[in-house]
Amino acid sequence: MALIQVNYVSKSLFRTVTLNVILPVDKLDAETMNYMSTGKKFKTLYLLHGLIGNYTDWVSGTRIQRWAEEKDLAVVMPSGDNAFYVNSMAPNNDYGKFIGEELVEVTRMMFPLSDKREDTFIGGLSMGGFGAMRNGLKYAETFGRIVCLSGALHILDPDCDNLANEQLVFGDVDAARQTDANPEVCLKQLQDRIAAGEKLSIPTTYIACGMDDGLLGVNRRYRDLLTAAGADVTYEEEPGFAHEWDFWDRQIGKVVNGWLPLEDAQGGVNSGNVRGEN
C-alpha cells in the first residue's frame, strides 16, 4: 500500500496545500516479484477530518490504510483547516469548491482513479461529517455515496455554541442558514434539480453517531430528513461511545468492509503479507 504525501498549488485556496493519498498500487506477485498491475482505475473515498485536525488524522487515528489495501480502495485525505469545507467569507478560502470540484479533478489527473459517480465517495467525521454531507449533496453529480460520522450538522443551528469563530467562515450565521452552506438547503436544491428532470439521485448515505455523543439528536434529524426525501440511508447508533476515535475507527471499518460497494483485493506481497497469500 502506497501512502503518498502530495503538495500542489490549489487554485481555490491560492496556496500550496498538502494531502495524504492511500493508493493500493505496490503489491508484488509472490512468484515473479513483479508489480501486480491490473490496469484498472480505483474506486475512491475522499475523507475529511474534524475540527482542529489535518490531513494526517485518519491515518494516525484509524486503521483506514490497512482496510483500504484489503479492498483496493484509494483514499484522499486533504486538510480543511477549521473552515467546515464551505466557501469562506475570507478571500482565497473556497473550501467547498476545493473539496467538491478541484480536489476530484486534480487527483484524477495525478492518479488512476475512476471518474464514475458510482465509484466516487465522500466521507468525514464531526466537522468533516458536515463537509461530507454538504458537498456530497451539492455535488451529487460527482459523489455516489456519503459517509457522515458524528456529523457536526448543528453548526448553523440558532442555539449552537460558537466553537471556532464560525462567523469568520459563514459570515452572518442566520443569513448563511438560508444558503447552500447549509446541507438542508443543498438537499432541497438537489430535490428541485431532480424534479426539473436532471438525471440525478440523492447519494446513498451512511450516518452513524455514538449514543453518548452530544450530536446524536442532530444526526437523527438528518437521518429523518434524508429518509423523508426518499434517500437510501443506513443509520447506526452505538451505546458507550461519545465523540471519539474508537468510535470513528470502528465505523470506518464497517463502511469500508461492508457498506461501500467494494471487492476483496487480490493477494500480493506487501509489508503485512510477506508470503503474498489471499
Q: Which domains does the chain have, with CATH numbers?
A: 2-259 (3.40.50.1820)
What pLDDT, on the 0 to 100 scale, is given for residue 164?
Answer: 63
What pLDDT, on the 0 to 100 scale, is given for residue 274?
Answer: 45
Confidence bin at 89 (pLDDT 50/70/90):
confident
CA distance 54 to 228: 34
Give percent of the chain with pLDDT exceeding 70.
90
Query: Taking phi first (over 0 means left), then psi (-120 to 50 degrees means alpha), and beta for anything else, what does residue 109 get?
Result: alpha
> Is 275 or 242 the better-scoring residue by pLDDT?
242
What pLDDT, on the 0 to 100 scale, is given for residue 90?
Answer: 82
Q: Which of 69-73, 242-246, 249-253 has the lowest mean pLDDT?
A: 69-73
Give percent of the chain with pLDDT exceeding 90.
79
CA distance 7 to 37: 25
Q: How many CB atoms lie within 10 A of CB 150?
A: 28
CA distance 183 to 69: 31
Q: Which residue has the cell 458537498?
A: 135
Q: Which of 22-36, 38-52, 54-68, 140-154 has the lowest mean pLDDT?
A: 22-36
Q: Which residue has the cell 438560508?
A: 178
The conformation of residue 110, written as its DSSP 8-state character, comes to H
Residues near 39 by beta carbon (within 8 Å), at least 6 away in sequence: none
Q: Which of 29-43, 184-198, 260-274 has the lowest mean pLDDT?
A: 260-274
Q: Which of 1-5, 17-21, 207-211, 273-277 has the lowest mean pLDDT?
A: 273-277
Residue 204 clears pLDDT 60, i.e. is over it:
yes
What pLDDT, on the 0 to 100 scale, is given for residue 158?
Answer: 83
The conformation of residue 142, written as its DSSP 8-state character, comes to T
* Model confidence pLDDT, tens digit, residues 104-144: 999 999 999 999 999 999 999 999 999 999 999 999 999 99
E strand or H helix that includes residue 130: helix 127-138
Dig out the grid coordinates for 268 from the structure. 500480493
Average pLDDT, the chain: 92
Span 172-197, average pLDDT: 96
What pLDDT, on the 0 to 100 scale, is given for residue 229?
Answer: 98
